[in-house]
């Protein structure tokens, strides 16, 4: 068996993907022997524990949302859907939405690397006012998302406070 180096290093072939480099070869004589555990440094154990905790946290969040059914695709990546639904979400091998992945060149991205529907250089921003802002959120234009306190409605503490009758 090979022991992995304690620190994950970025892969030169794929950005943001980590792999383990074998540093030593230890073959236990007895399958029940745990001597190989001593060869792994504390940093490596902490790193693996953090990854396991993160995966468990994601699993618990998915379960709270109703759970997901996930299937690996032969071309790489996977598709998933909530339990008892019909629509699939497709993800690339980087783990992001396939249409919005900058590394894969997703179909929802323009030539500038931004989302097509909101790229200012392409001129496809949603209803821009003369001040260069989104019309609904512009304070100077009095957009629909601005309250009487000149703040965004979703950020205004006075508008969110329930009134006592």
| pLDDT, tens only, 56-71 | 666 666 666 667 788 8
Half-sphere exposure (Cβ direction) of 33: Cα atoms closer than 13 Å: 11
Are the beta carbons of 36 and 15 closer than 8 angstroms? no
| pLDDT, tens only, 65-103 | 667 788 898 888 889 888 778 999 898 888 888 888 888
Burial degree of 60 (CB within 10 A; 0-12, 13-18, 19+)? exposed
Q: Give the pTM.
A: 0.39
Closest to 102 in 3D by CA, of 4, 15, 164, 1: 15
Residue ranges of domains in the chain: 1-64, 67-124, 126-165
């Amino acid at each position: 068996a090979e022991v992995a180096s304690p620190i994950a290093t970025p892969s030169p072939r794929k950005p943001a993907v980590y792999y383990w480099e074998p540093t030593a070869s230890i073959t236990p004589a007895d399958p029940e022997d745990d001597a190989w555990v001593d060869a792994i440094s504390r940093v490596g154990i902490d790193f693996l524990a953090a990854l396991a905790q993160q995966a468990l946290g994601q699993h618990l969040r998915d379960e709270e949302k109703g759970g997901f059914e996930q299937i690996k695709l032969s071309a790489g990546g996977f598709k998933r859907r909530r339990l008892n639904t019909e629509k699939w979400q497709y993800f690339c091998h980087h783990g992001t939405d396939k249409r919005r992945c900058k590394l894969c060149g997703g179909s929802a991205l323009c030539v500038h690397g931004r989302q097509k529907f909101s790229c200012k250089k392409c001129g496809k921003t949603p209803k821009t006012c003369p001040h260069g802002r989104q019309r609904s959120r512009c304070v100077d234009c009095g957009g629909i998302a601005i309250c009487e306190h000149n703040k965004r409605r979703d950020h205004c503490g006075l508008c969110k406070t329930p009134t006592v009758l």
